[in-house]
Amino acid sequence: MKKKIWITIAVVIILTLVVGVNIYRTYADSTANVKTETAKFEEINSTVMTPGTLAMADESTLYQDASKGELKEILVNEGDSVKKGDPVIRYENKDLEMEKEQNEINIESLYLRINSLDKQEKRLNEKKSDLADDVGEDEAEEAMEAEIDQVKMDKRMANLDLRQALLQRDRLKQKISELEETSEISGVVLEANDSSAPQSTQMEKPILRIGSMENLIIEGTLSEYDTLNIEAGQKVKITTDVLPDEKWEAEVMEVGYLPQASSPEANTSAVQYPVSVKFNNSEDVPLKPGFQMIIEIETESHEALTLPLEAVQQDGEESFVFVVEDGKAVKRQIETGSSTTKRIEVTKGLSEKAQVVVEAPDHLKDKMEVTMQ
């Protein structure tokens, strides 16, 4: 008897639980607990986002120049700071040194010849003066004219040769000065290859690479369509995954007029145009060249009714939201416009201060009763 009573009690409890679960499910399917946000007017910026690489605007690369002779010495090391005009590479050219020595000998020889001709002309003039005392000036002039004219001609030719030798000396000085190459910019030595490496290796690598860390830029690419909306001077926001909480202000420096050449390995027909972006203050950028950056270029700014991106859902090509009215979720079709990384513009179908469901639960349906969080 007691056994039957316990069985009856167990059956009643099970039936009660089943009924309770069904009632709860029915209620849960007919109601929803939702989070809402008020639609509001605010300034929204249309942007174009593209990846980029941090680079130096001022960079100088020096390769070995065989026409200058043999590379004798690299005067700086990696990490050294240099100023514009500082000597950084020195060549050695034995042929040029020999030519310089021969030029100096030639100049000295010409000075001696001219000096000798001056003395010879002086002696002839003295001889002419003595002869004039004996035979008269006319006869003395006629007797000495040819010899004096020859000396003057020889001296004139020697002076021309001297002028040519002096010009050659100046050219040699210029060539010798070019044996010591100077830095074209002020910056830091990023790369300095050993001058004792084999010639073939030297030709593949630069001898020196110098860059200025004071003028950092970001280099990226744009699609054909985006180039129509972007020009120099537009505002830019720069971020990087390395420092996710940091953001830097910048502006477009230049959009390339010609498309970027694609590599043979690139399996795409899309045309990309180079874009350069400069920081408003690169001193605040604690990053190094080569870091990957995210470029967000502002193309337009205007007042608009906006919602969080999570509030808008798609039904095919149509957009819709759920608006809470009189305790119920009402499905409403909308039209959208510009968007940012967090918000989207609503151009039609919604009024200001409407309570819109954000991150709607999957079971939410039109006209379903809701409880707002």
Q: Are 254 and 362 members of one domain? A: no
315 part of a folded domain: yes
Q: Are 101 and 146 members of one domain? A: yes
Q: Are 258 and 308 members of one domain? A: no
* Beta carbons within 8 Å of 237's beta carbon, 6+ residues apart: 47, 247, 248, 249, 250, 296, 298
Q: What is the DSSP string of 31-65?
A: EEEEEEEE-EEEEEEEEEEEEEEEEESSEEEE---
5 part of a folded domain: no
What are 96's two structure tokens? Answer: 């040029």
Mean pLDDT computed over 11-22 = 58
196 part of a folded domain: no
pLDDT digits (tens, 9 = 90+) for 91-125: 999 999 999 999 999 999 999 999 999 999 999 98
Q: Are 122 and 216 members of one domain? A: no
What are 66's two structure tokens? Answer: 């065989």
Average pLDDT over the chain, rounded to an integer: 85
Domain that holds residue 345: 34-45+302-372
226 part of a folded domain: yes
CATH assignment of the domain containing 308:
2.40.420.20
Helix (H) or strand (E) holding 208: strand 208-211
118 part of a folded domain: yes
327 phi-psi bin (left φ>0, alpha ψ -120 to 50, beta other): left
Bridge partners, residue 349, by sequence = none
CATH assignment of the domain containing 256:
2.40.30.170
pLDDT digits (tens, 9 = 90+) for 50-86: 999 999 888 888 998 888 889 999 999 998 999 999 9
365 part of a folded domain: yes
pLDDT digits (tens, 9 = 90+) for 329-353: 999 999 998 887 788 999 999 988 8
Cα(334)–Cα(316) distance, integer angstroms: 13
7 part of a folded domain: no
Q: What is the DSSP string of 225-261?
A: HHHTT--TT-EEEEE-SSSTT--EEEEEEEE-SSPPP
Q: Are 72 and 138 members of one domain? A: yes
**Confidence at residue 23, expressed as pLDDT on a 0 to 100 scale:** 43
Q: Are 242 and 316 members of one domain? A: no
Pick the closest to residue 283 from 240, 233, 236, 249 (CA basis): 249
pLDDT digits (tens, 9 = 90+) for 259-289: 987 655 555 567 899 999 999 887 778 888 8
pLDDT for residue 195 is more than 70: no
**Confidence at residue 214, expressed as pLDDT on a 0 to 100 scale:** 79
pLDDT digits (tens, 9 = 90+) for 167-188: 999 999 999 999 999 999 998 8
Helices 137-177 and 94-135 cross at an angle (nearest 10°) of 170
Q: Are 78 and 113 members of one domain? A: yes
Q: Are 107 and 165 members of one domain? A: yes
Give the range among 191-205, 317-331, 334-348 with minimum mean pLDDT. 191-205
Q: Which amino acid is at 49?
A: M
Task: Give the largest Cα separation in the chain, rounded.
Answer: 181
Q: Are 162 and 71 members of one domain? A: yes
For residues 159-197, one letter each, b for 16 or more C-beta atoms within 10 angstroms of the residue's C-beta and e for the rest, the string is: eebbeebeebeeebeeeeeebebbbebebbbbebbeeee
The domain total for the chain is 3
Q: Are 80 and 173 members of one domain? A: yes
Mean pLDDT computed over 130-144 = 85
190 part of a folded domain: no
Mean pLDDT computed over 305-314 = 91
Q: Are 230 and 295 members of one domain? A: yes
Helices (H), ranges, the chain: 2-30, 94-135, 137-177, 199-204, 224-227
Reported as a pLDDT band with limits 50, 70 and 90, residue 316 is confident
**Confidence at residue 27, expressed as pLDDT on a 0 to 100 scale:** 45
Q: Are 171 and 78 members of one domain? A: yes
Chain-centroid distance, C-alpha 339: 28
The larger pLDDT score, comparing residue 192 to residue 262, is at 192
Bridge partners, residue 297, by sequence = 48, 236
